[in-house]
């Protein structure tokens, strides 16, 4: 009952300011004696244990990458009920990202558009923060992308990925290779099979036999042939599964006026409009890869119905970000209760 009022206040602020205020307030609440217990009492999710990737999850609902880029808020997200947390995207080089404004709300669509530019403090800083954790309340996934530098291409781009992977492998419960957000330096993404094969070879060599499981994050904008080509390459290289999906560049069917979208400019769309396409991507992947491969469904989850749609399509785990922004701190609790 309180969050709709708080959301009106937060949504009156620029999105990145609201994000900082919210996380600052949550950290302050958890720091008060008894604060964590009080927060967890309001938001704790019903247990729904899941086994995947050789890991145990109290529930299948995770926080998607992009919310906690620098691994600063893992304990807070665990207190809000998330069964696992994905940090990043992490890049080998620190990056301030694109100029602001770079994050936009589409309130009529329950969506966001972002062109953040992979802003993060870099792999070394995140690795140090993860190494210093006193405890791990939930499994931690680390999303790795190429540094935000269009001059990086070919072997240099692959080396950039490998640098991050090498730093993160001892500290992550699972690694997520973000191949659809960073470009390769020549305008293509690493979802191009010609580029993806060498990247996967280098990454899996860096991980070695004892490294954490590797997931490959898939764009929702691939046609079936391209999707299957990417999946085949990833599995042949030893990937344990896939995260489906990243944001989309497709803005068809939105309720937000075209003039407002034009004023926003470029960026990836997340949230409710992405849901059907993301579920279909999970379904196609499951049909192609069979039952043994782990799939993480992400895109447009607002409540138990959307989470259930992913699970019915073949997802083992699900994630949300935009739905959490719109739904508030009890979102995971509602989803798990519905499941």
pLDDT of residue 16: 97
Q: What number is the average pLDDT over the span 17-21?
A: 95
How many distinct structural domains can be found in the chain?
A: 1
Comparing C-alpha atoms, which of 218, 211, 112, 114 is closest to residue 165? 211
Q: What number is the average pLDDT over the span 27-36?
A: 91
Residue 80 has pLDDT above 60, yes or no: yes
Residue 236 has pLDDT above 90, yes or no: yes
Residue 243 has pLDDT above 60, yes or no: yes
d(Cα 18, Cα 26) in Å, to the nearest integer?
A: 12
Q: What pLDDT digit, counting tens, does each position of 307-319 carry? A: 999 999 999 999 9
Residue 84 has pLDDT above 80, yes or no: yes
Alpha helices in 242-330 (DSSP H): 258-264, 275-289, 304-313, 322-327
pLDDT of residue 296: 98
Q: pLDDT class for 186, splitting at 50, 70, 90? A: low
The verdict on residue 32 lying in a domain is no
Sign of CA dihedral 101, 89, 227, 56: negative
| Contacts with 334 (C-beta within 8 Å, 6 or more apart), sequence order | 303, 304, 327
d(Cα 324, Cα 302) in Å, to the nearest integer?
A: 7
Query: Around 76, how many Cα atoms within 13 Å sit in the side-chain half-sphere?
Result: 18
Q: What pLDDT digit, counting tens, does each position of 37-62 carry? A: 899 888 989 899 999 999 999 999 99
CATH classification of the domain holding 196? 3.20.20.70
Tell me which of 92-96, 186-190, 197-201, 293-297 is least confident.
186-190
The verdict on residue 37 lying in a domain is no
| % of the chain exceeding 70 in pLDDT | 97
The verdict on residue 85 lying in a domain is yes
Run of H or E residues at 202? helix 193-207
The verdict on residue 22 lying in a domain is no
Tell me which of 24-33, 89-98, 180-189, 238-247 is least confident.
180-189
pLDDT of residue 4: 86
Q: What number is the average pLDDT over the span 236-265?
A: 96
| Contacts with 122 (C-beta within 8 Å, 6 or more apart), sequence order | 90, 91, 92, 93, 94, 95
Measured CA distances, 117 to 92, 114, 133, 226, 266 (Å): 14, 9, 27, 25, 11
Give me the helix-helix angle, 15-31 and 3-10, nearest 10°: 130
Residue 183 has pLDDT above 60, yes or no: no
pLDDT of residue 110: 97
pLDDT of residue 182: 55
- Name the strands in the sheet holding 268-271, side by side, starting at the edge strand that comes first in the sequence: 103-106, 111-114, 268-271
pLDDT of residue 3: 84
The verdict on residue 89 lying in a domain is yes
Q: pLDDT class for 189, splitting at 50, 70, 90? A: confident
pLDDT of residue 185: 56
Structural domain span for residue 187: 45-338
pLDDT of residue 184: 52
The verdict on residue 19 lying in a domain is no
Helix (H, G, I), strand (E, B) or coil at 120: strand
Per the confidence metrics, is the pTM higher than 0.75?
Answer: yes
Asked if 264 contacts 107 with a C-beta cutoff of 8 angstroms, the reply is no
Q: pLDDT class for 152, splitting at 50, 70, 90? A: confident
């Amino acid at each position: 009952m309180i969050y709709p009022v708080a959301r009106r206040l937060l949504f009156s602020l620029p999105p990145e300011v609201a994000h900082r205020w919210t996380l600052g307030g949550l950290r302050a609440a958890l720091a008060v004696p008894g604060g964590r217990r009080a927060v967890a009492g309001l938001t704790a999710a019903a247990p729904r244990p899941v086994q995947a990737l050789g890991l145990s999850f109290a529930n299948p609902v995770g926080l998607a990458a992009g919310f906690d880029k620098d691994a600063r808020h893992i304990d807070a997200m665990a207190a809000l009920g998330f069964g696992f947390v994905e940090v990043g995207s992490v890049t080998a080089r620190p990056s301030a990202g694109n100029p602001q404004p770079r994050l936009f709300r589409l309130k009529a669509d329950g969506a966001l558009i972002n062109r953040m530019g992979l802003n993060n403090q870099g792999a070394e800083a995140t690795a140090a923060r993860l190494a210093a954790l006193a405890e791990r309340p939930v499994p931690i996934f680390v999303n790795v992308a190429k540094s935000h530098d269009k001059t990086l291409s070919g072997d240099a781009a692959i080396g950039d990925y490998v640098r991050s992977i090498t730093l993160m492998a001892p500290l992550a419960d699972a690694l997520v290779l973000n191949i659809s957000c960073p470009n390769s330096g020549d305008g293509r993404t690493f979802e191009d099979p010609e580029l993806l094969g060498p990247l996967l070879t280098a990454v899996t060599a860096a991980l070695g036999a004892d490294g954490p499981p590797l997931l490959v994050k898939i764009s929702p904008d691939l046609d079936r042939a391209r999707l299957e080509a990417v999946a085949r390459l990833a599995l042949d290289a030893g990937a344990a599964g896939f995260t489906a999906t990243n944001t989309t560049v497709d803005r068809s069917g939105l309720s937000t006026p075209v003039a407002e979208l034009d004023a926003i400019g470029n960026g990836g769309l997340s949230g409710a409009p992405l849901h059907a396409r993301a579920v279909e991507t999970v379904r196609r992947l499951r049909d192609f890869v069979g039952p043994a491969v782990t799939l993480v469904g992400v895109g447009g989850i607002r409540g138990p119905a959307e989470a259930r749609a992913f699970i019915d399509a073949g997802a083992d785990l699900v994630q949300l970000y935009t739905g959490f922004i719109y739904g508030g701190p009890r979102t995971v609790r509602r989803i798990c209760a519905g499941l």
